[in-house]
Amino acid sequence: MPELENRKAVLAKKRDLHQPLNHDEMQDYMKQHKEMFDEMAKRRKQEWKQKHMEHKLNYVNAQNMKSSFTDAIKNADKEEVINR
């Protein structure tokens, strides 16, 4: 008898899985999926803007930075040209 009950339970699960989809449930799922996709796209766009702004700032800061090492190389190059 337990074998028959197990078989009935398996068949009931298969019946539930193979029922036609409920239109309202499908619409709700599609709505949730679209909201999640839009939120992810918005977050990606904000992250891209933030990274882009950081790159711009880093580029501007790199242009304004002077180090003694680069100054020494430039001076050495100038002296080399003068000595030729």
- Residues 62 and 72: their CA atoms lie apart, in Å, by 18
Check residues 82 and 69 and name the one with the higher pLDDT.
82
1-5 long-range contacts, Cβ below 8 Å, gap at least 24? Answer: none
Q: How far is CA 21 from the centre of its chain?
A: 32
> Over 90: is that where the pLDDT of 80 sits?
no
pLDDT for residue 9:
94
Q: Which helix (H) or strand (E) holds 21?
A: none
> Over 80: is that where the pLDDT of 29 sits?
yes
